[in-house]
Copies of this chain bind each other. A is one copy, B any other.
Amino acid sequence: MPKVSEFQRFLYDNCQLFNNFMVILGKAQKMDQKSRCENCIVRQFNSLRAMTKEELKRVSDSKLMKTVKKGEALFEEGDKLNGVYCVRNGVSKLSKLSANGKDQIVKLATKGEVMGQRSVIVEETANLSAVAVNDMEVCFIPKEAIVNTLHSNPDFTYEVLRHMAHHLKEADDVIVNMSQKTVKQRIAEAFLYLKHNYGEDKDGYLLLTLSREDIANVVGTATESCIRIISEFKKKGLLKSSGKKLGIVDEKGLQDLADGF
């Protein structure tokens, strides 16, 4: 029934009542045992693990799974979020448009991470946009399920707090890096980050491939500068490439560079 999916799309793009409709449309999906939160391994990595069986059951009943294609947005800066997104698969970039028209990528969110928490907790519109870097599978969890649990289960609240505290530390560190390191250092760091967080294949190529533009937006530089520096790293034997894929050849060299020799 292709009509239904177009209707979903329409609602998603335009309609305040999106969530209510989606819940109805999603009923069929929810019967799938494999998609129950209680059995979802991803939950172990985020604050949902502090929920009780009953709470999880309620979340699972109200959540709905969604696939997002590479390049599609989960939400945009300024959107009112009616819930959070739990990443089952794929990677999303969380970015913000600056006055000069460039996107700054503030964070990458992977399997297990929950997006939109902050906005739901403080009841503000989204501060960042979330766009899929590759094909994704996410679960949308309506905010009521989250907010209710926040008020009734202190363990869950504490767990969310711990995660938020961790993100805050990371953000502080990014601030320092952004303002005190050169573009070259930040690019070197970005590759080390990609290797350590997303790993590499048997041939030593990074599993997560970002475009030069995305890398530039992560480190906050012009795309051309980013390309130039990557070329330089390849010439120096720090990186290698094969098609779109990039791989780290000399990790120690990159690390030294990132640390300022």
Is the beta-carbon distance between B166 and A168 smaller than 8 angstroms?
no
Whole-angstrom CA separation of A181 from B104 in the bound complex: 11
Chain A contact-residue range equals 35 or more
Interface residues of A in 25-56 (CB under 8 A from B): none
20 residue pairs A–B, Cβ–Cβ below 8 Å: A96-B173, A98-B177, A98-B180, A99-B180, A100-B260, A104-B176, A106-B175, A117-B165, A121-B161, A122-B165, A151-B154, A152-B154, A154-B157, A160-B161, A161-B161, A164-B165, A168-B168, A171-B175, A178-B179, A180-B220
Does A150 make an interface contact (CB < 8 A)? yes
Secondary structure at chain A's binding surface: helix, strand, loop or mixed? helix
How far apart are the CA atoms of A180 and B151 in the complex, in Å? 38
Given contacts A118-B169, A158-B151, A162-B122, contact A99 B259 (CB under 8 A): yes
Is the beta-carbon distance between A99 and B172 smaller than 8 angstroms? no
Would you list which residues of chain A between 93 and 138 have a CB under 8 Å from chain B?
Answer: 96, 98-100, 102, 104, 106, 117-118, 121-122, 124, 127-128
Hey, which chain B residues are within 8 Å of A158, CB to CB? 150-151, 157
Chain B residues with Cβ below 8 Å from A178 are: 175, 178-179, 220
Q: Tell me which residues across on chain B come within 8 A of A9, comparing CB atoms.
A: none
Chain B residue with Cβ nearest A94: B172
Q: Does the CB pair B100–A180 fall under 8 Å?
A: yes
Please report the C-alpha to C-alpha distance between residue A166 and residue B173 in the assembled complex, in whole angstroms.
17
How far, in angstroms, from A132 to B104 measured CA to CA in the complex? 32
Complex CA gap A150/B219 in Å reads 36
Report yes or no: B99 in contact with A169, Cβ–Cβ below 8 A. no
Distance (whole angstroms) from the CB of A223 to the closest CB of chain B: 14
CB within 8 Å of B: which of A225-260? 259-260
Q: Chain B nearest CB: distance from A167 CB in Å?
A: 6
- A96 B260 Cβ-Cβ under 8 A: no
Instruction: Answer whether residue A174 sits at the interface, using C-beta atoms and an 8 A cutoff.
Output: yes
Task: Decide if A121 touches B260 in the complex (CB within 8 Å).
Answer: no
Report the separation of the CA atoms of residues A100 and B258 in the bound assembly, to the nearest whole angstrom.
Answer: 11
Contact A118 B165, CB 8 Å, known A96-B176, A176-B104: yes
